[in-house]
Amino acid sequence: MSHRSKSASSAMSVDLVSENGSVPASEYEDSSEGMGGFASDGDDGEEVTWAKERDQQKVGRKLENLSKIHSLAGIVETDAPGLVALRPVKSEGKLKKANIRLRDLPQSLQADFGKIFTPELLRYTGTLPPWQNIDSWAELAELWDPLFPEYTLADDEQLQAVVLKLADDKVTAWRNKFSAAAIEALDALYASWKAYSPEARADVVAWLLQGNDTNRAFYYREYADSEENVVQKGLFQGYLITCGLAAHYTAIRSAAAPIEDPETAEFPETPLVYAIQAAKRALNYSVTGKLVVPGQRLGEFSKANWGDKMDFREGRQVVVNTASSLVAIARKLEDKPQLQKKIMIAAIEASLPKRRAGGKTEVIEIDAGSPTEDIELVDNDSD
């Protein structure tokens, strides 16, 4: 697994434990009457026969019970020859995944999990294809073990489960920051354009969603499309997208990994896809001028809703490339290194502490189409 990096800055203003004990002494041990409570009077009649049968039954039940206890206990050595004491063994069991929390890590790791490991985790996840997760502890160990060599994952199954679950939670929260940033940025645009009524906000959303998959209005820092004036400048530097990428840079910044130099940093292709999708989501849920997010899972910013999927249309099964179509668009930037640098600089600056992003910016809708090779990106901004 290759370990790639990016960087960032602050975003916009936007048992049961049983006691040790031994097997109870037999209730017959100190009895002068013998087992069963009967003393033999020398009569070998039915009474004695019945008593013996009864005693055998009781002993059988007793041994059965002891057998059950023994199956749940550990054998402890004693000084008395031929005797053992039975002690219940603490069964740690597996933690339920849903119940795993940060406190389940060793205490010495809890602070560093957020400060040191999480930025590296998110930095690496940002290099994976959109909506792909780390689903094995072995893959996670390549990130974890160099940071915490005294707690290597291969040596502790429970630690594997805990770290894998906590990492998954962090990645989910990171992705949700894109959607939250887009909604906050849209509210800022409403205020900037004095769009206070639902009708005015609906007009703003419609304007931002104009265009096609490769040049929607909200992709650009400056956008105009009329007979008198056509302006498309600052591709993928639109305010909603920039704020989404700023949230990413904030999440991956740490004392050990400060903001990277855009001249040498790897371009955040997958985070850009998330930022575009989050912007589209915010706009699509605001077409009436009010933010209306579908209930339950339908409104989640998740792989189920925003990753590639199979669908049925007109009785046929088709592939909907919700994410792959955007990857194809973003990949066209590989031939435009100066544009890539501008996109990163805009997002990094927006992520800096105490900086308020402002000004007009626009948005696009990216329909779920198939990836295509004949994509032409338009940016009239001079390099």
Please give the residue range of the domain that contains residue 316. Answer: 175-351
Domain contains 303: yes
pLDDT for position 260: 75
Residue 9 lies in a domain: no
- Tell me, what's the pLDDT at 370? 43
With beta carbons less than 8 A apart as the criterion, state whether 322 and 303 touch.
no
Task: Render each residue's pLDDT in the chain as its tens digit; 383 residues.
Answer: 444 433 333 333 333 223 333 333 333 334 333 333 333 344 444 444 444 455 555 545 444 443 443 333 333 344 444 444 444 433 456 789 999 999 999 999 999 999 999 999 999 999 999 999 998 999 999 999 999 999 999 989 999 999 999 999 999 999 999 999 999 999 999 999 999 999 999 999 999 999 887 889 999 999 988 778 889 999 999 999 999 999 999 999 876 667 778 888 899 999 999 999 999 999 999 999 999 999 989 999 999 999 998 888 888 888 889 999 999 999 999 999 999 999 999 999 999 875 444 444 443 333 334 444 455 676 767 55
In a domain, 203, yes or no: yes
3-state secondary structure of 261: coil
Please give the pLDDT value at position 273.
98
Task: Kindly report the three-state secondary structure assignment for every residue of 202-240.
Answer: HHHHHHHCCCCCCCCHHHEEEEEECCCCEEEEEECCCHH
205 within some domain: yes
Answer whether residue 140 is part of any domain. Answer: no
Q: Is residue 305 part of a domain?
A: yes
What pLDDT, on a 0 to 100 scale, did the predictor assign at position 226? 79
Residue 343, domain member (yes or no): yes
Cα separation of 320 and 322, whole Å? Answer: 6
The whole-number pLDDT of residue 160 equals 96
Cβ-contact 244, 315 below 8 angstroms = no
225 phi and psi, to 5 degrees?
A: -145, 90
- pTM, 2 dp: 0.70
What pLDDT, on the 0 to 100 scale, is given for residue 255?
Answer: 63
Tally of structural domains, the chain = 1
User: Domain for residue 382, yes or no?
Assistant: no
Instruction: Count CB-CB contacts under 10 A for residue 16.
Output: 7
CB 198 within 8 A of CB 288: yes
Half-sphere exposure of 269 (CA within 13 A, CB side): 19
Beta strands in 58-188 (DSSP E): 73-76, 85-88
pLDDT at residue 113 in the model:
97
